[in-house]
Structure 1
Amino acid sequence: MRDSADKVDLSACRLCVIRNRGSGKKDPPELLRSIRDALQDRVAEFELRETSRGDQLVDLARQAADDGFDIVVALGGDGTQSAVAGALAGTDVLMGVLPGGTFNYFARDLGVGETFDEALATLAEARVRSVDVGQIENLVFLNNVSFGAYPHILKTREGIYKRWGRSRLAAYWSVLVALRRLRNPMHLTATVDGRARDFTTALVFIARSAYQLDSFGLDGADAIRAGNFAVLIAKARRPLPLLRSAFRLAFGFSAKDSDFDLIITDRLTIETGRRSQLVAHDGEKTRMVSPFHLQIRHGALNVLVPADGRSKTQDPKA
């Protein structure tokens, strides 16, 4: 990561907020007014662009960049943040983060704050940090990519959300429901630096969020901070052992040696037995074609972080 010690001069910037109306919790009108009130008079130009379709977020963010906005702020959960980052990675446009999802791992990793007020304070007094992003084929991701059980957990979670609403409890419950339905393990080959290794597993989790790994007590967070992926391959092949691993994770007892094989790398290829595979990425899911080429794009995204260098988010272990 590369940091700039200089504060961003908002008064000279054109700023566009991209909002996903379908992301996380519903935003009350007064909250949107507070965002406008906090930013409109501080910048050279302010605009809010919205969509209720997640598949339009990349185009909205890319259009904002093409329209000459200096800062594009993503308002929504991790899926929204990831989509906007995908449009801005590799450009000089700055990205701001206003968390509005269930877990907000990217906002926590950056330390910009978990609430709108904290994140707005970051935007008002910010400096620039260049951060790494992950990429699988042409898709940018910020927190994680996974194969096997997790994409099916997301499918189950969507149904539970529709019935009971979005919450962390509903998200955790969807894990138990989905694992009960899991039937067949996945066969795959992971190739790193020309060396191929075969695995039979129920879950592959490719992590880019140090905060997420820290919060689950898993190894690999330091490797992520050093610019790598932490590739966690579950040793469990069936629902019951995987469920036991999930419970150990929840209570902080999991260790990579007993539950996961760990691969540290900034580039790898994964080939699965099935040509078409459901892939989970930052809380979303997409059907993609094997083999899958993953790499770290070092320093590809310029984001706004607290100017004083202090995290507005507590340590996950605190």
Structure 2
Amino acid sequence: MSKISVYMNQQASHCSYEFWRERIHRSLFRSEVLYRTPKSLSELNILLRQDIANNVDTIVSVGGDGTVNTLIQELAGKDIALLVVPGGTANDLASELGHKGSVDEVIRCIREKQTKSIDLININGRYMATNGGIGFGGDVARRINELRVKTPAFKKVMSFTGKSIYSFFVAQELLTGDFDTYDFEVDSQELSGRFTASAVWINNQAKVADTYSIAPLTKNDDGTFNMIILTHPTRALLINCFLKILRGIHPINDPHFLSVETSKVSLKFATPIDFFGDGEVFEKNDQFNISSLHAGLNVFSLKLGQKNLTPLAPEQVALS
């Protein structure tokens, strides 16, 4: 009998404890399942380390990308598979793994043993699984996270709007926010020098929010990641770049859209600045040493063997 621990983030926008527990129990009734609902980061870390020490077979994350980011700090390099059940708003990693269907379908990954290894990105010792960066974009993530904490009703808004809430905040930031730029040094084998830019994006997968294809050739299992530097000197040029991305046009001919694939890079700033990753704001620093941890995380993925899955029975279809 396999041992499974399910971590539920009850603060995530689309996460209801009873809803998820009922459906997970229905799919995993033959397994030994523990349900974890930690009330603090320290409690989560204690429980997760206990699970690792007890050699659990699988960790299930029910929440958003922030929940995943917390879990991978301990799971990186471990021989424990992570199943990501989309329970947040953006659900970037869940979407990348093909987890867009019913809860029952996603949980079936465990029974079918559909696992693969993906890369993680190490930023000054903290891991990231999806996308992140510095400057524009990070400001959007920061504002949304602050509203989640300070305004309880905002969670209901996010539940109603879903991923489109990010489009609204991006548009607002582009049109009315400060057009801040940053001077910094880049040191990598593929690209080096001094730059002035409104943002640096670090991408472990092609899409953000399963909508915006900002790095279409990027994969999360090849030992490299994508770095984009936005050097647009005016707000108008930056808006034009974003409009292309929104229309599904990769701005490859934009001279201010610098994009490279690399496995290691160092970014140096004059003053400490925030880095955001997996929808979370990391600690401020004036230097970020970024590298790929190849095959650093074992995950379940519906993209593996989808054609061989047997059809779901009508009663197994989730009511989400």
Q: Same fold (TM over 0.5)?
A: yes
1:46 to 25, 33, 43: 33
User: What's 1:14 paired with?
Assistant: 3
Structure 1 residues 250 and 308: CA distance shift in structure 2, 3 A = closer
* Structure 2 unaligned residues grouped into runs of 5+: 310-320
SS in structure 2 at match of 1:253: coil
User: What's 1:152 paired with?
Assistant: 139
**Deviation of the 1:147 alpha carbon:** 0.2
User: What's 1:273 paired with?
Assistant: 270
SS in structure 2 at match of 1:189: strand
1:100 to 77, 87, 90: 87
CA distance in structure 2 between the aligned counterparts of 1:209 and 1:56, rounded to whole angstroms: 30
Structure 1 residues 159 and 298: CA distance shift in structure 2, 3 A = closer
Amino acid at match of 2:54: D
Structure 1 residues 272 and 56: CA distance shift in structure 2, 3 A = farther
- Superimposed CA distance per residue, residues 102-121 of structure 1 (whole angstroms, 9 cap, x where no aligned partner): 12221222224444232112
SS in structure 2 at match of 1:32: helix
SS in structure 2 at match of 1:118: helix
User: What's 2:239 paired with?
Assistant: 243
Amino acid at match of 2:71: V
Task: Please show how residues 160-239 of structure 1 align to structure 2 within 5 Å.
Answer: 162=151, 164=154, 165-166=157-158, 167-179=162-174, 180-193=176-189, 196-212=192-208, 215-222=211-218, 224-239=220-235
Count residues with an aligned counterpart. 298
Amino acid at match of 2:178: L
TM-score with structure 1 setting the length: 0.84
User: What's 1:299 paired with?
Assistant: 295
User: Is 1:263 aligned with 2:252?
Assistant: no
CA distance in structure 2 between the aligned counterparts of 1:195 and 1:254, rounded to whole angstroms: 20
Contact kept, 8 Å, 1:269 with 1:292, in 2: the verdict is: yes
Deviates more, 1:77-86 or 1:156-165: 156-165
Deviates more, 1:72-81 or 1:220-229: 220-229
**Deviation of the 1:256 alpha carbon:** 2.9
Instruction: Please report the RMSD computed on the Cα atoms of aligned residues, expressed in angstroms.
Output: 2.6
**Deviation of the 1:32 alpha carbon:** 1.9
1:71 to 47, 50, 58: 58
Amino acid at match of 1:189: E
CA distance in structure 2 between the aligned counterparts of 1:126 and 1:79, rounded to whole angstroms: 25
SS in structure 1 at match of 2:274: strand
Amino acid at match of 1:266: S
Amino acid at match of 1:25: H
Identity among equivalent positions (%) equals 21
TM-score with structure 2 setting the length: 0.83
Contact kept, 8 Å, 2:223 with 2:295, in 1: the verdict is: no
Contact kept, 8 Å, 1:22 with 1:53, in 2: the verdict is: no
